Structures are given as C-alpha cells and as structure tokens.
Chains A and B, each alone.
Chain A
Amino acid sequence: MTDTKKDYQKILGSVQKPVKGEAGKTGTWSAKKPIIDLDKCIPVKSGKPSCYNCWLFCPEAVISRTIPPEIDLDYCKGCGICMEECPVKAITMEEVKIE
C-alpha cells in the first residue's frame, strides 16, 4: 500500500500484547500481606533451594524461588494461600500500609 493509511485503516480486529499488571497494581486489593518469618522458612534455614510450597501454590505467581522467597507486594492479592500451605507456618498475614 503506497497511500497513507486513513485513520480507520489502522484499526482492524481487537488485539492484545502481553503486559505485566494488566489489571493495574492488584496489590491494592488487600491491606493484608504475607510476611515470612525467616527463622522458620525452610530454604532460609537449610541454605538450599527446598520446599517452595508458597511459590508452588500461589495463583498469581508473585513469589520467587529464591533464598529467601520474595513476594511482589505490588501484585500480591493477599489471598492467604501461601500462609495456609506453608508446612512450618512461617507465613503470617499482616496489615501493611500501602503508600
């Protein structure tokens, strides 16, 4: 097409490209956030990659498989699954001030 496109010719079907935070900062959905007690956390205590139940069961994939596991509070919805699934009860849900 050698002619310049008209405005309507630049729009065809409704398409998307991938982005992080499509729904915005979903961390704002909950004032309660998971806090990991590093004294109890298995990979911290052993110094080796291990357990990671919190990473496994997180529906939002906001927990990293690191030592210690890190939780992206910008996107954590505060569901509390990680707290329930931690085999050593290392996670508690606490009110966190959101800036």
Chain B
Amino acid sequence: MTQTLPINGNAQQKMMILTGNHAAAYAFKQARVGVVSAYPITPQSPVVEKIAEFIDNGEMNTKFVKVESEHSALAVCCAASATGSRVGTATASHGLMLMYEMLPWAAGNRLPIIINLATRSLGAPWSVWTDHSDFITIRDVGWIQLMCETNQEIYDTNIQAFKIAEDPRVFIPTIVGYDGYILSHTMMPVILENQEHIDNFLPPLKHHINLSDLSTIKGIDPVTTPHVRDRGQEGTAPGYFEYRYALQKALENSIDIIKEVHDEFAEKFGRSYGNGIYKAIQIDDADVTVYAMGSIASQARVAIKKMRKDGLKVGLVSLKTFRPYPADILKDLFKDKRLIVIFDRDIGYGYEGVLSYELKSALYGLKNSPYIKGFIVGLGGRDVKTEDIIQGVQKAIEQEKTGIISHTTEFIGLRLNELKNYDEEEFYKEA
C-alpha cells in the first residue's frame, strides 16, 4: 500500500505500509547494493523475494546470486565485496549458523558486508519463532551488531549500516537484527526517503581492496604467520596478531562512527533512535530500570507505562548497538541506578542471559554497584506479555531486599504447570 504524501511538508518522502522484511529490501534497493547473494529461510525469505521482484521489473540494478546454501551465500558476498562491490544478504537462525565459517573471514578481511538477521531461535528442536539466540551467538567474531524495534528503524538502520561499515576508519561487516515474525512479517508505516537524498547521504563504495582493478596485482588473504615479515627493500608485512589487533581496535573505535552516522542521519532525515547506542525512556528519575533489546524492549515500553500509572518510578533502556559492546557508555549510564532488571530473549548457555552478564562485566569496578537481576524470557517465540515484565520487576524488587546475588538463570513465562505429568520415559507407554 503506497501513499505518496507530503510528510512534514517534505514532498520528497513516500510512506508505505511495509513488513520488516520488505523495509530491509527497500533499504537495499535505495542503498544501490551491487551484489546480493542469499538462500531462503524462514522468516527472512520475503527480503530476497522482494529484491528479486525489484530486479525483475527493473527497479534494482543488482546482481542476485541465488546460491545453494547460506555458507555459499556469505562466501559469494565476501568474494564480491573483495572484487569491489557493495554487497548484502539476509538470513536467520540456522542460515546464520551455516554462514558461521565465513563470519570471522569477512571480519578479518575487513569487508563491509551487511546482513539482515530476522532473528529466529536455534534448533534443536526445530523452531521458526523468534528469540535472540542467533543474534547473540555470533558476538565474538568481530562484526558490528545493531538491533531494531520497528520497521522504520530497520530501513533507517540499514542505510546507516552501509555508511558505518564502509567508513575508512571502520571497514567492518555489520548485522542488522530484527525479530522474526514480530517485525519481519508485521506491517508498519515506513517513510521511504527520496533517492537523491539517500545518494547524498550514502555515496558509492570506495573499497580498500577492489580486485577488479587489474592495474594492481593483489593476493588477498594468504596464510599469515605469527611473525612480522621483513623483506628489506621489498617491504614488511604484519603478522596475524597485528591484523587482528587492527580489527579489534577498529571495532572499538567504530562506536564513535556509529554515533556520528546516527546523528548525521537524524539531522538530515529527522529520525533518531536514542543516541544510536541505546534508547532511554523515563530513566532520569527511575528507581528501577528495565534493560532489554528488540521485541522485549518494545513490550517493556507498554509495561513501563502501566507500572508508572501504578506509581512505580520505572524506566527503560533499549540497547541498539550490541557490538561493539558499549561498556563505558553503559557504565556511565547505569552507575547511579540502584536496581536494573534485565530481560534476555536468549541464554549464554552454561551461564546467564547475555545482556545480563555482559552488563555485570561492564559495571565492574563501580564502588556502589547497582543490584542487577536478570530473567530469561520468550525463547522459541514464547509470548512475552506486559504481565511478565511487571512480574519480573516485582520479583527483582523483592530479591534486592534480600541482597542475594545469584548466577543461575530464572525464567519467566514457563508453562511447566500445564504439562500433565510429562515424562519422556513414560511418554510412549500406553495409558
């Protein structure tokens, strides 16, 4: 559904009602992505279906390589990026898992590839519904990771992602995450910007590699020893340790560019998402701060309103930039808060929810550390209701009074009481 309206008096924009997947596809179109390589997987398939449609009717001049697996999808993206094109893909869950081998490869080669991740839980058992396990499980390979709460944010973040990733101070691949089904398949109004304005904001890619330029012969990504190589007149070359140091430092430094690009986008297009790192809702006077990302943060917004009505001074921090992890920024934000209640739609299995334990590590060193209580919610698409958030906040308030600190996980939303004497051993026996 399209309405070409002057919005805010600006006749250049167009509003459409789009699913999250389609918002990503429109962003790819307007970012003039040169090569897309993708493989179908629920709930991402509509992204590439839309792109195929755009190409077919001439709206997009992009080479779409329809590969035979996600592992090949990211391999094609890496090769196409190294040859000098702007590239992107989309996937979810096991698709991302199959890409895993290529994730550190893309980061180590400093290729500005964009992946749209329609989050989906990991099997076993099979699940097509959302949680953040796929998003968080790749956090150590060296990609920038940004999370979205609305379809407008998906479109806006994609445009920004290309600019961030391709910045010469960055050159790091980037994942744009958004909840499967909750955003990917839900229609929301999305303002699409005028192409010329997008082109001004996002100039053509100036890659640091570019194999297509045959005037310089390059070997890319050879075996790299632990040592620095010194061949006198011919030059020196870094060892593996130096290459990875460079990636890590660039990733740390990219926080500044993420904020820069966010602010520039806000100035040019009038839409902002907190400070680009997190969004804060009513935290200034908050006694309790809820901390979450993506769909959980969206649900928490409703819970906050309700709790405030009932007299509790509660605020919300919705994390947008998950990697590079904004430890210093979060430490500064939370240092004077007394109680933080965290809802993870994921588990760092064997330990706690990832938002939970990473925040605890960020706050290390504070003289008077806030009390932090984390809950696991919503795995495999289990609905997370306003009541669940409220229940969690109330439990946290009670537990803070005891002062007990636990490193085991607590779940909200389980329905074990609905299981009628389920026991796998007994399950197959006749009644």
Contacts and interface: CB of A to CB of B under 8 A. Distances in A.
Nearest to B245: A8
Interface residues on A, range: 10 to 19
A12 B253 CA distance: 14
A46 interface: no
A98 interface: no
B219 A15 contact: yes
B168 A15 contact: no
Given A13-B108, A13-B209, A8 B222 contact: no
B218 interface: yes
Interface in B220-279: 220-222, 224, 231, 234-235, 237-238, 240, 242-243, 245-246, 249-250, 253
Given A8-B246, A8-B249, A19-B231, A13 B208 contact: yes
Interface in B200-228: 208-209, 217-222, 224
Given A6-B249, A17-B217, A11 B234 contact: no
Nearest to A10: B246
A14 B82 CA distance: 12
Which residue of A1, A11, A17 has the most chain B CB atoms within 10 A of its CB atom?
A11
Contacts of B219: 15-18
Nearest to B221: A14
Contacts of A8: 245-246, 249-250
Interface string A1-34: 1000010111111111111000000000000000
B109 interface: yes
B120 interface: no
A58 to B, nearest CB: 23
Interface residues of B, number: 29
Given A1-B169, A8-B249, A19-B234, A13 B217 contact: no
B132 interface: no
Contacts of B155: none
B171 interface: yes
Interface string B151-184: 0000000000000000011010000000000000
A74 to B, nearest CB: 15
B169 A13 contact: no
Contacts of B208: 12-13
Given A1-B169, A8-B249, A9-B250, A15 B218 contact: yes
15 contacts: A8-B245, A8-B246, A8-B250, A9-B168, A9-B246, A13-B208, A13-B209, A14-B224, A15-B209, A15-B220, A16-B219, A16-B222, A17-B218, A17-B219, A18-B219
Given A13-B243, A15-B220, 11 more contacts: A9-B169, A11-B245, A12-B110, A12-B246, A13-B108, A13-B209, A14-B108, A14-B109, A14-B224, A16-B222, A17-B218
Closest 9 CB pairs of A and B: A16-B219, A11-B246, A8-B249, A8-B246, A13-B109, A12-B110, A14-B224, A13-B110, A12-B208
